[in-house]
Amino acid sequence: MIGNYERIIEKIAKAANLTKEEIDSRIEAKRTKLSGLISKEGAAQVVAAELGISFEHDKLKIGELLPSMRKVNVIGKVISISPVRTFKTKKGDESKVVNLFMADDSSNIKTVLWDTNHVALIEKGEIKEGSVIEISNAAMRDNELHLGNFSEIKISNENLENVITQKIFRERKISDFKKGETVGTRAFVVQFFEPRFFNVCPQCNRKIEKEGDVFVCKTHEKVIPEKRAVATIVLDDGTGTIRAVLFHEKLNNLGITELENPEKLLEQKQSILGKEMFFSGNIRNNAFFNNLELVVDELKEVDADGVIKGLEK
């Protein structure tokens, strides 16, 4: 599957009447000049700007969207919608926000609606799962698409088939991780911290606290809680290390199943230290430690044959 970087390289090369190799060379030179402190996608945008190329008014594929893009125009099919949330603005006013995922045949993306008129389209059911929508004048924040007061969203008559619904991960070295990215990396488990436990609502899976003698969910009121675990590990891929957060199911996939049996937990912990796996998820900033961490969404065994073929290429 062609990725964001390759797609944007093709567009820049075509617009500038240069080869993809020439554009790629300019991008690497730009990254070298900036001591690698900028991603390939970010350097691509700088090179495009230097060549006088702008994609601000183009209708782009989701797979062509890059961090920091402005005035984004895109069409996609809504594949999921989160509940509408109410919050207080800095001025103390009440406002609303809703997240949805939209997809086309190139990729998918989290899309955030901040304008109450846009949110109302969700609340009224005018935009729902399966709707094909056209978005104009939106902005990219990290790897999310955000719609503000000056953005537009409407139902499109286009028929989108074969949209990509699975999460898209960009394979990265740990040293290249940037906040907000959805990444995948092959790394070794070098440290494992003791798991912590918390309770969730069995219906919505949101964290809940005990009030008196009962557990209360804000949405489902009194509930019988389900106990969940979360643990942190440290990954090392040779270019750097990063803390990674794994919740209950992902711990099981890692091989940690005896969470409340200290003796067996120690055995399992020792068995995974030094183990190499492929981890993927979202990069966020840990406010307490003030550093990046990976929230693991998927993990799987390393495909040795695939690694060998990749090295041969």
Contact indicator for 239, 174 with CB cutoff of 8 Å: yes
Task: Work out the average pLDDT over 100-110.
Answer: 92
Residue 42: pLDDT band (50, 70, 90) is confident
pLDDT at 313 exceeding the cut of 60: no
Task: Work out the average pLDDT over 203-212.
Answer: 84
Q: Where are the domains of the chain?
A: 1-54, 57-166, 170-312
- Please tell me whether residue 123 adopts helix, strand or coil conformation: helix
pLDDT at 311 exceeding the cut of 60: no
Residue 2: pLDDT band (50, 70, 90) is very low
- Residue 1: what pLDDT? 38
Closest to 31 measured CA to CA, from 208, 194, 211, 176: 176
d(CA 34, CA 55): 23
CATH superfamily of 170-312: Nucleic acid-binding proteins (2.40.50.140)
d(CA 209, CA 85): 20
pLDDT at 279 exceeding the cut of 60: yes
pLDDT at 120 exceeding the cut of 90: yes
Closest to 121 measured CA to CA, from 135, 108, 110: 135
Write the CATH number of the domain with boundaries 57-166.
2.40.50.140
d(CA 253, CA 255): 5
pLDDT at 281 exceeding the cut of 50: yes
Residue 236: pLDDT band (50, 70, 90) is very high
Check residues 208 and 134 and name the one with the higher pLDDT.
Answer: 134
| 170-312 matches 57-166 in CATH topology | yes
d(CA 55, CA 41): 14
Residue 36: pLDDT band (50, 70, 90) is low
pLDDT at 29 exceeding the cut of 80: yes
Question: pTM for the full model?
Answer: 0.64
